[in-house]
A and B are shown apart, each in its own frame.
Chain A
Amino acid sequence: AQSVTQLDSHVSVSEGTPVLLRCNYSSSYSPSLFWYVQHPNKGLQLLLKYTSAATLVKGINGFEAEFKKSETSFHLTKPSAHMSDAAEYFCVVSVGTGGFKTIFGAGTRLFVKA
């Protein structure tokens, strides 16, 4: 069975400090992993994705994530938070075999303080 756990429902950081949003997954198959961001009253937008190439994945707006198979983790990081990063972030696992099972984490809301 496949599952996704986002370990924090809320994360609060100060502007200019690092961001860490944690995600653990469970999958019987080799997964594809994604991070999406949702700004208020908007749809979701892809930040980055891992699809079995390089384990360190760079995305938009300075975000990156590292796929660690031994830890079944795919944590999202950014060296320096900006006010515009305040949003909800979703970790998503997609199972490739037969191909279309997509599971979303419950989301992590990021607050950025001035």
Chain B
Amino acid sequence: EAQVTQNPRYLITVTGKKLTVTCSQNMNHEYMSWYRQDPGLGLRQIYYSMNVEVTDKGDVPEGYKVSRKEKRNFPLILESPSPNQTSLYFCASSTEARAQGTGELFFGEGSRLTVL
């Protein structure tokens, strides 16, 4: 089954404790992206990757890191989480058509992060 898998789905942590949210897709998609969803703001893009070893900042990259060493994986790293990073996070992938802006995004089920 074609899917995007995120882990963990739920996490409560404390300020400053490094954490990683993993994302894996099995559709051989080149494009992957991370978003955060906050009430009343829709989804905002954190980072995206057009291909292996190619990453770029989205609209809200501060406090986050990513890496794309393999095509299927795109982990999101919070080096020193803070309470304002409490949010619902989504990973998504898409075909090369994303480069033309026409590709459908396939989303994971989300990771709810709480930073105390």
Contacts and interface: CB of A to CB of B under 8 A. Distances in A.
Contacts of A46: 104-105
Contacts of A72: none
Contacts of B4: 43
Interface in A33-74: 34, 36, 41-46, 49, 51
Nearest to B90: A43
Contacts of A9: 40
A99 B45 contact: no
A43 B48 contact: no
A104 B107 CA distance: 14
Contacts of A51: 102
Interface string B34-68: 01000011111100101000001000000000000
A90 B100 contact: no
A13 interface: no
Contact of B101 (A41, A42, A100): A100
A32 interface: yes
A18 interface: no
B14 interface: no
A94 interface: yes
B47 to A, nearest CB: 11
Given A49-B102, A94-B102, A100-B101, A43 B109 contact: yes
Interface of A: 4, 9, 31-32, 34, 36, 41-46, 49, 51, 90, 94-97, 99-102, 104-107
15 contacts: A32-B101, A43-B90, A43-B107, A44-B43, A44-B92, A44-B105, A44-B107, A49-B104, A90-B43, A94-B102, A96-B102, A100-B31, A102-B45, A102-B101, A104-B43
Interface of B: 4, 31, 33, 35, 40-45, 48, 50, 56, 90, 92, 98-102, 104-105, 107-110
In the A-B complex, the 9 residue pairs with the smallest Cβ-Cβ separation, listed nearest first, are A43-B107, A96-B101, A104-B42, A94-B101, A104-B43, A99-B99, A51-B102, A106-B42, A44-B107
